[in-house]
Amino acid sequence: MKGITIVLALWTFSLFAGNDKELAHTNNTKIDIEAEYKAAFKSEQFKFPELSVDLYKLYLGIKIDSFFKARSINGNILVAKDGQVIYKKSDGYANLSEYKPLDFNSTFQLASTSKPFTAVSIMQLVEKGKINIEDTIQAYIPEFPYKNISVKHLLCHRSGLPDYVKFAALYIKEDAPFDNEDLITLLVNKKPKLLAMPDDRFDYCNTNYALLTSIVERVSGMKFEDYLKKNIFDPLEMKNSYAFRKGITPWKPNQTQGYESNGRIRYHDFMDGVLGDKGVYSTVDDMLKFDQSFYNFKILKPETIKMMTTTQTWENSTKGYALGFRTVTLSDYSRGIYHNGWWKGYSNAFFRVPEKGITVIILCNKYNSGVYKCATPLVSLMLNTPELPEMEMGGSE
């Protein structure tokens, strides 16, 4: 019965949603179908809902659902157009060992999709005149041992610094407490070799955003988790979002566990005490609120948003990095503004096409590399244009 209802609804949509309002009658006269439709059902006895928008959403929902079913994503998905939810689905488990299902209040480790929050925090302090992104790091962290690296170099990954995720385990014991300030101490004491001279080339590096977090903390006088709550989460009513530090932040009832693709659990380690490059937990609904803040200007000025989303450095001919966001030129020449995330089993995609009003949010707590290939086909589907090729956007390292 449901199948018949959907077919009938789609047939009705195709009949009334076309560009031609006039159709030929059998006696060669013409009638205005839309006018006849409205006249026939204008009485109180026959009240039908507006079909065009609802059926368009239904059509897209069916297409998107079919798209995701083929990708076996254990996670939550939200697709929106102009801030309105077109598709939302929760599928899989928050905790496999307890058979606890996901729901829309489930919170996911955003991994490197946390980086836009760090960049927003920095740019808020820039707006207040407390940070200049052209300043060198020593202006805010006097003991920092490397010269000629600016705040902007950190924001767009042109610092040349080595990635602490790849070297910290050489010096830090697994069970030792380790946070952003401890990372600064490690850099001062060990001073690992630069990978490149400052501003020489793009090199994606988690150290950059860990240092930006320390700058926010020192300038604001607040712990980073408190700064986020006061200046981003609360103003945007992101009630299920928070920063999580291992050994400090209590586990939340709706917090998910991360898993490898084979179902093996991924536990937190000492690096989960570092925030800014990762560490924010959120939901798909809260992430849509964050997305919409770039249109309603609740937490940043328009000129600041323009600066943040302008490409500062290029990885190749189509992909670049702005200030806290990756950028990509799609094959229809629209611009994608996005950030993926990968950490301890979590695979996330936060993809926006501002000029088209499209938002795709995928939060997955069981590693799935297919998450990073979903954005461009969905953009094509949303725009009803020839399919753009699947692009490997890359999980955040």
- What does pTM read for this prediction? 0.85
Residue showing tokens 């789609």: 10
Q: Residue 383's pLDDT is what?
A: 79
Residue length, the chain? 397
What's the CA gap between 111 and 394, in Å, rounded? 13
Q: Of the candidates 372, 333, 373, which has an alpha carbon nearest to the alpha carbon of residue 355? A: 333
CB 323 within 8 A of CB 349: no
Rg, the chain, Cα only: 24
Exposed e or buried b for every residue in 312-347, given b needs 16+ CB within 10 A? Answer: bbebeeebbbbbbbbbbebeeebbbbbbbbbbbbbb
**In the numeric block, which tokens belong to residue 155?**
């924001």
Strands lying side by side in the sheet with 108-109: 108-109, 280-282, 242-243
The residues, ordered by sequence, that sit 6+ positions from 70 with a Cβ below 8 Å of its Cβ are none
**In the numeric block, which tokens belong to residue 198?**
């400052």
Say whether 231 sits in a helix, a strand or coil: helix
CA atoms within 13 A on the CB side of 12: 17
Q: Residue 359's pLDDT is what?
A: 97
For the chain, residues with pLDDT lower than 50 are 1-31, 33-34, 36-51, 394-397
* Runs of H (alpha helix) within 297-361: 302-308
Distance between alpha carbon 316 and the CA centroid of its chain, in Å?
Answer: 22
What's the CA gap between 382 and 63, in Å, rounded? 9
Q: Residue 108's pLDDT is what?
A: 98
What's the CA gap between 192 and 107, in Å, rounded? 35
Q: Residue 229's pLDDT is what?
A: 98
Superfamily covering domain 58-383: DD-peptidase/beta-lactamase superfamily (3.40.710.10)
The residues, ordered by sequence, that sit 6+ positions from 289 with a Cβ below 8 Å of its Cβ are 236, 237, 238
Cβ-based neighbour number of residue 49 at 10 Å = 8
Q: Residue 53's pLDDT is what?
A: 57
DSSP symbol at 194: P
Q: Which residues of the chain form CATH 3.40.710.10?
A: 58-383
